[in-house]
Structure 1
């Protein structure tokens, strides 16, 4: 058994304590933490762990919030584009109202319908990562704001993939002109002295044509073409008559050499054929624009909410991590100074130990 003097033992213990403190200080400098485990400081360690865990949970929600923001932006972009198309459709209705030609009005009606098709296609394409707030059922968006799911917002989807639904914009009836075919032979066989042809469109008498002896097909065609809304032509055998405003009826007033009553078919009134219908369409378009603007405002409010919560969550995560850091992070300046002081203490303790050993060795000199 080895026996050490009290002075040597005291210096040795001091050196061991200093070495232990230096090890801890060096570990703090290496890791940057003053609390590396529950052994260092249980209260600080577990509190910091809880704070860091919550920050981690919130960080995972930030991604979902970001995707929610993008989904809302996609829907808002879609609404802005749809609004422009509805305004274009309104322009077509106004053009139709300013025209007095049925053929032009029907062309505008067809272009109007084409715009509605584009609106529906655009709404179908306004999705983001499989979620489309303009495609109705099954597309509601839920964004969670906190780690236990008790704070969230749900954005209801609207359905603009069918314009006749939420927007109330149904396809227009373009309209079809009535047609009538008369053989030239029958027409020229029925004329006689003082005879006339009565022309009726949609039940209203629009003209009377001279049908006396010697009246030719060309004469009748010329007279028909002079009537507004009626067009007549011949292929040399049959005369084709079209009427924009209703089915046409041509009747021979003298029945001696009678031309059988000729009745046209196929007429369908178009939505833009009358001013009243066009005005009704304009009113519906104004309602659709109001609906779109209201929905854009709703999505804008939802977007503001999600963006604000996203920014708040970022700040909260920073606060949580900062709080955890205050409990566990080491002050590297302080630890560096501590290490320097400990190194100095170690050197002094080593010197003191040397002196104590020399004192013990002095006893040997007494017997020298």
Structure 2
């Protein structure tokens, strides 16, 4: 049946053309954006997944930047440690040469002092963006770098970090935190006794540090001499009562404790304007420490015409004021914080054998620090490479989800354009069909 009111063919052609035009619009959008899922309307599930993955990519880029910063920081410290190791080897050579006949040991000592100063400068300047892994400034807070972003199946996210044991890379030449201060108590008439160790004469606990004023030799108000001794070392159980200094890393040694002395602790003594330091060595006894302090004072230029220093039969350091002026004496102790603590005490003039023993320890400490820094640098480099490849993998995954296949889209575009032309012709033919009805009325 033919009708001039209802043109079924035109209606079918029009719907087909609308469908073709819709597909053509979608295809043109894919070509212009390069995406088959450009918004949530295209595919809500795929769009949501892609957005989460894109946020992870952004986070991974931040992780990569953090790792790069950490690599530079650790690399700077490693370069500093390497140079320090080279200088220590040179110092070792000079110490060895000082044992030869006819060598001016004072000139050798001057060279060593200058090189120790250079080492201190390297330690202080081995920083990147204000972070120094050699000077001990990070020992309290530690050092770590964000290494990865981990998303579990339930959508929760947690982070992993790469940490560096900064205490192992600490090459500071200075001593650490001052140990507990106790009281100096009056001892034998005319003498004050400092028991530097677990107890002083009054029974107070803690490493005893203190100061006392030696009055003029002819004064009557107080004493004109003191005896410093009673050094208390950690024993094998980590308690007080040891007879000699144990290594700071030996079994049972508690370096966090301030109850007794261990190898590496630094004793500092001031007599008037003269200051000297002695670093306790493994195996040191009470007499060794007293002798070390005495030698350090003499090397520091103590005027023995004004102040006498000696070690008695008990291994105690005796100090007497020989002048008519008051003299202040101060003794303090500190837990060593760095692997090079006591380096500036090397002295081939007064203690060649001690310098030979100490330099070996310093070289080993630097080697250990280099190993720690090298291991951490390797981990950071590997992780940064992995994060970089992970970013690429995520981008590929996102592309597979939302990117348009341009070859397919191009072919589809041409097909739709052809269909559009045919659809227009079909609609034109369908619209002309009612014209044939006029022939029935001629």
- Structure 2 length-normalised TM: 0.57
Question: Which residue number corresponds to residue 161 of structure 1?
Answer: 172
Alignment of 1:93-242 (within 5 A): 93-100=95-102, 104-138=104-138, 140-147=142-149, 148=157, 150-157=159-166, 158-162=169-173, 175=299
Question: Which residue number corresponds to residue 272 of structure 1?
Answer: 348
Question: Which residue number corresponds to residue 58 of structure 1?
Answer: 60
**CA shift digits 1:49-75 (9 cap, x unpaired):** 111111111111110100000001100
**CA shift digits 1:303-352 (9 cap, x unpaired):** 11111111111111111121111111100110010010001111111111
SS of the aligned residue for 2:145 comes to strand
Pair 51,130 (structure 1): closer, same or farther in 2 beyond 3 Å: same
Question: Which residue number corresponds to residue 405 of structure 2?
Answer: 331
SS of the aligned residue for 1:330 comes to coil
Question: Which residue number corresponds to residue 311 of structure 1?
Answer: 385
Contact 1:120 1:160 in 2 (8 A): no
Question: Which residue number corresponds to residue 24 of structure 2?
Answer: 22
Q: CA deviation at 1:149?
A: 5.1
Pair 30,54 (structure 1): closer, same or farther in 2 beyond 3 Å: same
Contact 1:89 1:115 in 2 (8 A): yes
User: Which structure has the bigger radius of gyration?
Assistant: 1
Of the three residues 415, 424, 430, the one matched with 1:356 is: 430
SS of the aligned residue for 2:148 comes to coil
SS of the aligned residue for 1:335 comes to helix
Structure 1 unaligned regions, length at least 5: 180-269
Q: Distance in 1 between matches of 2:425 and 2:300?
A: 116
Mean Cα displacement is larger for which, 358-367 or 310-319?
358-367
Paired positions, count: 273
Q: Distance in 1 between matches of 2:125 and 2:302?
A: 40
SS of the aligned residue for 2:396 comes to helix
Q: Distance in 2 between matches of 1:321 and 1:289?
A: 48
Of the three residues 265, 272, 291, the one matched with 2:365 is: 291
Pair 323,3 (structure 1): closer, same or farther in 2 beyond 3 Å: farther
Q: Distance in 1 between matches of 2:421 and 2:356?
A: 96
Question: Which residue number corresponds to residue 38 of structure 1?
Answer: 40
Of the three residues 40, 46, 49, the one matched with 1:47 is: 49
SS of the aligned residue for 1:97 comes to coil
Q: CA deviation at 1:271?
A: 4.0
Contact 2:64 2:387 in 1 (8 A): yes
Contact 2:170 2:369 in 1 (8 A): no
Q: CA deviation at 1:164?
A: 6.3
Q: Distance in 2 between matches of 1:71 and 1:177?
A: 41
SS of the aligned residue for 1:160 comes to coil
Q: Distance in 1 between matches of 2:33 and 2:99?
A: 79
Pair 113,41 (structure 1): closer, same or farther in 2 beyond 3 Å: same
Q: Distance in 2 between matches of 1:73 and 1:353?
A: 74
Q: Distance in 1 between matches of 2:23 and 2:348?
A: 94
Pair 89,13 (structure 1): closer, same or farther in 2 beyond 3 Å: same
Q: Distance in 1 between matches of 2:55 and 2:302?
A: 77
Mean Cα displacement is larger for which, 76-85 or 351-360?
351-360
Contact 2:109 2:349 in 1 (8 A): no
Higher strand share: 2
